[in-house]
A and B are shown apart, each in its own frame.
Chain A
Amino acid sequence: MSGADPDGDPETDTADVPGDDGTDEPTAMIRPEWRSDLLLIVKVVLATYVGFFLVGVLSGAGVNATVGTIQSITYFGAIFALGALALNLHWGYTGMFNIGIAGFMAIGAYTMSIAVASPDGTPAGFGLPIPVGVVLGMVAAGIAGLVLVIPTLRVRADYFAIVTLGFSEIVRLSVQSRSLRQIGDTAYGTGGGQGIRATPVDSVVGWLFDQPIVGAVGDVLILLGEAVGIASSVLERGIYTLVLILFVIAFYVLLTRIAHSPFGRVLKAIREDELAAKSLGKRTDRAKIAAFAVGCALMGLVGTLWMGSRTHISPDHFMPLITFYVFVALIVGGAGSNTGSVLGGFVFAAVIFEGPRFVRTMVRANLGTDFPRTAYGAFAELGAGDPAALIGYVLYQQADEVRYIVLGVVLVLLMIKRPDGLLGHRKEIAAGVDLRRRGAVADGGRSAEDDGPAGTDGGADDE
């Protein structure tokens, strides 16, 4: 991938970090806090599950519907966590305000679909194996990021936002355009407004089940599930969600390693003060280009993973709204923290994305589905003394609109009350050492006893 290997960055400059030579004693280096972060994520996830289950069962929505909601939350939580992690590299670490996420997702997903779809379809694909398609999607999104970022390195943050939004709209309008439906006289193309329909055999879940070990495990699981009474489609979805969770872990590890590498510290320095970083001799342009391309490639991967569970993609799946989903997920968690990104993705999926739908399920279970279809009817019945009609109209008929309203209101409230998000106070600093312990380092460890708790905090998780 575009030669942007963060660990191989020649600017590696760890020699002057105090205490780096003595590996046994607790050092001043900031280390990722794997264990406490994992615990935090597990706690939040479990609490959400329990909360939804209790509310669902007590409100009479039914166990089945509740379990379905929890599965949806997990699936979308994983998707948004992936998106937020990728965006965190841009916005959280480097400070690049990218609101063209949907465009990079579209490039990844379309590249994969064209590569993977069967050669007989309209538009035709190349019939390549799925892993090749996924890698091609990533590479294409990464290259698109490179092409976009190199000329726009120096534009202001708000201009950069407009450029990236414009870019994502250009991508969407291009794939939607009739003239690219079938490129030239070839059978290949984007399918225009209809999109690309990959046959179910080509979908990722189907492909997974054809693999030797995974397939065998999957078959056993499906047999087990059928014995208990769970439909195989539910299980297939569950297994795909599991794959997504594995990707979340991989993203998390990769990005945390990047963040704690010298390259990552350059990125954070750019976020804090690009001029200062440049003055210290860091090649900020190169770091920004690399970070942007890597992030875009990851976004492309997220696009392929998201659409991989479907058998059909179309331009409507890549409206700018997708970008704002991911953005809200990141901001909820707190930009600048990978743990926050994962938590934000999950909380966003549970409360904002699936919440209104869950409320809809509860309304259906308790008040039925016989609600007016228009605001006119709702207000007419309200006037006739039936407030349930209005409640039902808003919460049942307009559940999607309510979701977007909640999304907007949450965004505004976060910006006013907590611009740092749930975990924003943990925003990692650009320094490689914990600056709060400067006294300890400068005095040759004299005050190490005083800083005991801080020392164990930082060092306990070292392996």
Chain B
Amino acid sequence: MGVGNTGGTVSELIDETRKRLSSGRELFALLIVLGIAVLLLDLVRRIATGELAFGRLWRYTWNGLVDSLYIALAAIGLSMTYSILRFANFSHGDLVTTGAFSGWAVAWVVGGWGVYSVGELVLFSPTAAGPTGGELGMNVLASPVAILIGLAAAAALTVAVALAIDRLVYRRMRDAGGIPLLIASVGVALALRYLIAVFWTVESHSATASAPILEDVPPWLPFERVNLHELTLVVTAVGLIVGLHLLLQYTKLGTAMRAMADNKDLALITGIPTERVIFATWTIGAGLAGVAGYLIVLDRGQFSINIGWFLLLLIFAAVILGGIGSIYGALVGSLVIGLTINVSLVWIPADLNEIAAFTLMILILIVKPDGLLGGVETA
């Protein structure tokens, strides 16, 4: 009897394992974990054998952290609209574009006021006679005021555009399902992007002067030199993220937003003013997206109207990884995506790194649709 019993439990165990594996998800998850383990071991081997210099790995990791910061700024807004308005907003990437163009246009006007005509400045020198970013001294040391005003303008103008779009489009469809809203957001994305293109053309622009580099770095920092534009990006982004955290946790508005993301109907019953929360959602989400676009341009210099659209899938990847609706999840997801697109360069060529991120996103959607943090909603 005892023997039979043991046999029974073993075969039960095998049966259960087989059933779990055949359901597909566990098998997929197992494969992913195995894959990551193999990659990590390979990373250790490469460093141990000297095939991969440690400095290079650190550079990839640092670039990953920087990328993850601007992805995070954009992802927070997407995650908020997803959880509060309940649809995948495909026009969010173009809010990033709006921030980049509007913010830098204002920065140029401030920087070149009185010397060049406003039209030339707003449109980033459409003719060859106009100034370049370098001639205007568009770096954080030469014209900090212009860049700061531009940053504020990027946030304010993007918020204005987002609120106008909400008034024109999304407010009329509050009760429509997620898919009609998604389709409408695709339409908004196209219209917004090419409205920008009518003014600024589809060509790429260069808005900034070359970034000032700080050479004498304190020895305890793991850098030999500091790119001040990159530093500005990091400081601004971290500051905004901390500020958002405080807002969500310690203000009435934050509580209302978290409540509404968690359970809309319950929030309505408790008397939370829906439209005001939606207003706050667009303000915060679009503001952060606009700042993200502005900071990306500060870091990279070059940009075109596709800057936000190309970023959109990475943002979605980050939001999905973290679990849609969870702002802290979006931060974690951004970190994973930022590191993935950079550290994956150890193994694959540079033009395949986004493929790695998208594949990761699809796998997570299949295996853990609730995201890495397991569906913690805005907590």
Closest 4 pairs (CB-CB, A-B):
A411-B187, A408-B191, A408-B190, A374-B126
The verdict on A166 contacting B349 (CB below 8 Å), with A375-B198, A415-B176 known, is: no
Cβ–Cβ < 8 Å partners of B187 in chain A: 407-412, 415
Interface segment among A45-53, A168-176, A294-302: the answer is A168-176
Of B119, B183, B365, the residue contacting A379 (CB under 8 A) is B119
Q: Is A163 an interface residue (CB 8 A)?
A: yes
Q: Can you list 13 A-B contacts (CB < 8 A)?
A: A152-B366, A155-B365, A158-B178, A170-B355, A170-B359, A173-B352, A374-B126, A376-B119, A402-B194, A404-B194, A405-B190, A411-B190, A415-B176
A416 / chain B contacts, CB cutoff of 8 Å: 169, 172-173, 184
The answer to whether residues A412 and B191 also contact, given A157-B179, A170-B358 and a CB cut-off of 8 A, is yes
Shortest beta-carbon distance, A191 to chain B, in Å? Answer: 14
The reply to whether A173 and B184 contact each other, CB–CB distance below 8 Å, is no
The answer to whether the Cβ of A122 comes within 8 Å of any Cβ in the partner chain is no
Within 8 A of B (CB), among A394-440: 394, 398, 401-402, 404-405, 407-412, 415-416, 419
Q: A166-B362, A380-B119, A407-B190 are in contact. Are A394 and B349 (CB under 8 A)?
A: no
B119 nearest in chain A by CB position: A376
For A61, the chain B residues whose CB sits under 8 A away are: none
Are the CB atoms of A419 and B320 closer together than 8 Å?
no
Is B313's CB under 8 angstroms from A158's CB? no
Name the residue among A163, A410, A415 with the largest chain B CB count within 10 angstroms.
A415
Given A162-B316, A376-B123, A401-B202, are A179 and B190 neighbors across the interface (CB < 8 Å)?
Answer: no
Distance between Cα atoms of A404 and B191 in the complex (Å): 6
Q: A151-B366, A376-B120, A394-B198 are in contact. Are A327 and B183 (CB under 8 A)?
A: yes
Contact B355 A158 (CB under 8 A): no
Q: List residues 185-211 of chain A with CB under 8 A from any CB of chain B.
A: none
Which listed residue, B181, B186, B195, touches A324 by the CB 8 Å rule? B186
Nearest A residue to B312, CB-CB: A165
Chain A residues with Cβ under 8 A from B348's Cβ?
179
In the complex, A247 has a CB within 8 A of chain B: no
Contacts A97-B179, A155-B366, A380-B119; A374 near B190 (Cβ below 8 A): no
Nearest B residue to A180 by beta-carbon distance? B352
Known contacts A374-B123, A401-B198, A411-B183, A324 near B369 by CB under 8 Å: no
Interface of A is mostly: helix
Does B361 lie within 8 Å of A166, measured CB to CB? yes
Q: In whole angstroms, how far apart are the Cα atoms of A327 and B192 in the complex? A: 18
- A135 close to B (CB within 8 Å): no
B182 at the interface (CB under 8 A from A): yes
B180 touches A402 (CB 8 A): no
* Total residue contacts A-B, CB cutoff 8 A: 148
Contact with A along B160-183 (1 / 0, CB 8 A): 000000000100110010111111
Residue numbers in B under 8 Å from A410 (CB-CB): 187
B194 touches A401 (CB 8 A): yes
Which residues of the partner chain A approach B172 to less than 8 Å between Cβ atoms?
Answer: 416
Assess whether B362 is in contact with A173, with CB atoms less than 8 Å apart: no
Contact B349 A408 (CB under 8 A): no
- Beyond A178-B349, A374-B127, A415-B184, list 15 extra A-B contacts (CB 8 Å): A97-B179, A158-B87, A159-B365, A163-B362, A170-B359, A327-B183, A375-B126, A376-B119, A376-B120, A376-B123, A398-B198, A401-B198, A405-B190, A412-B188, A415-B181
Q: Does B26 reach chain A (CB closer than 8 Å)?
A: no
**Which residues on B are within 8 Å of A, measured CB to CB?**
24, 28, 87-88, 119-120, 123, 126-127, 169, 172-173, 176, 178-184, 186-195, 197-202, 313, 316-317, 320, 348-349, 351-352, 354-355, 358-359, 361-362, 365-366, 369
B183 x A331 contact (CB < 8 A) = yes
List the B residue with the shortest CB-CB distance to A376. B126
Known: A163-B362, A398-B198, A404-B193. A169 touches B313 (CB 8 A): yes
Return A204 CB to nearest CB of chain B, in Å.
31
Asked if A311 is an interface residue, CB under 8 A from chain B, the answer is no
CA distance A411 to B178 in the complex (A): 15
Contact of A167 with B by CB under 8 A? yes
Given A405-B191, A405-B195 in contact, is the A174-B355 Cβ separation under 8 Å? yes
- A410→B188 CA distance, assembly (Å): 10
Find chain B residues with CB under 8 A from A379 CB.
119
A415 to chain B minimum Cβ distance, whole angstroms, is: 4
Chain A residue at minimum C-beta to C-beta distance from B178: A158
Q: A151-B24, A179-B352 known; A157 and B178 CB under 8 Å?
A: yes
B351: chain A residues at CB < 8 Å are 173, 176-179
Within the complex, the shortest CB–CB distance from A316 to chain B, in Å, comes to: 12
B residues in contact with A321, CB < 8 Å? 190
- Give bound CA distance, A324 to B354, whole Å: 22
From A170, A394, A398, A415, B180 is in contact (CB under 8 Å) with A415
Q: A331 — which chain B residues lie within 8 A by C-beta?
A: 183
Please report the C-alpha to C-alpha distance between residue A394 and residue B195 in the assembled complex, in whole angstroms. 10
Q: Are A375 and B173 in contact (CB under 8 A)?
A: no
B residues less than 8 Å from A179 (CB atoms): 348-349, 351-352
Q: Within the complex, what minimum Cβ distance (angstroms) separates A328 from chain B?
A: 8
Closest A residue to B349 by CB, please name it.
A179
**Cα–Cα distance between A379 and B87 once the two chains are bound (Å):** 38
* Contact between chains at A409 and B191 (CB < 8 Å): yes
A52 to B276, CA, bound (A): 48
Question: In chain A, what residue has the closest Cβ to B187?
Answer: A411
Q: Which B residues are CB-close (under 8 A) to A162? A: 88, 313, 316, 320, 361, 365
Residue of B nearest to A162 (CB): B316
A residues in contact with B127, CB < 8 Å? 374, 376-377
With a cutoff of 8 Å between Cβ atoms, the chain B residues found around residue A169 in the complex are 313, 354, 358
Contact A419 B180, beta carbon cutoff 8 Å: yes
Least Cβ–Cβ distance between B310 and chain A, in angstroms: 9
Determine whether the beta carbon of A166 is less than 8 Å from that of B313. yes
In this complex, what residue of B is CB-closest to A176?
B351
Bound CA span A245–B28, Å: 44
Decide if B194 touches A408 in the complex (CB within 8 Å).
Answer: yes
- Shortest A33–chain B CB gap in Å is 28
The answer on a CB contact under 8 Å between B24 and A156 is no
| Chain B hits for A239, CB < 8 A | none
Q: Is the CB of A161 closer than 8 A to any CB of chain B?
A: yes
Complex Cα spacing A331 to B127, Å: 41
B154 to A: closest C-beta gap in Å: 20
Q: How far is the CA of A192 from the CA of B176 in the complex (A)?
A: 42
Q: A405-B190, A419-B176 are in contact. Are A152 and B126 (CB under 8 A)?
A: no
Distance of A178 Cα from B298 Cα, bound (Å): 28
Q: Which residue of A lies closest to B360 (CB)?
A: A166
